[in-house]
Amino acid sequence: MQPLWKVRSGDFAGWRAGDILYDANGSNVGYFNMDVACSNNGRYIGEIYRDDWIGKRLGVAHPAGGSRVGYVGVAVAGYANRVGMAVGEWEDPDF
């Protein structure tokens, strides 16, 4: 599982396991279509930025994905927060 941090705040966001997205508590909150993250109901919630960061690009339209049945959560141990990045046109993801 690949740990992920929120691009603006630097808060630990959760994990990417293949095409499944888990939040910091280990709950399945969505899935990936390539590097674009969608909620389990298909709504755009963010995308990968530089391998282990996730954020939401402002002003970019993404088509809605399809709905998916959520996966069971996983047992996890969190990671420390990092210092966020001042990246123009990006904000923290919606989860």
| Residue 27: CB atoms within 10 Å | 16
pLDDT band at 69 (very low <50, low <70, confident <90, very high): low
Please state the rounded mean pLDDT for residues 74-90.
85
Task: Quote the pLDDT of residue 80.
Answer: 87
Task: Please choose, from the candidates 39, 34, 42, 37, the residue with its C-alpha nearest in 3D space to the C-alpha of residue 4.
Answer: 37
Helix, strand, coil share (%) of the chain residues, nearest 5: 0, 40, 60
Give the residue carrying structure tokens 């990246």.
87
pLDDT tens per residue across span 22-63: 999 999 999 999 999 999 998 999 999 999 999 999 987 776
Task: Quote the pLDDT of residue 77.
Answer: 76
Q: Distance (Å, rounded) from C-alpha 63 to C-alpha 80? A: 33
Q: What is the mean pLDDT of the chain?
A: 88
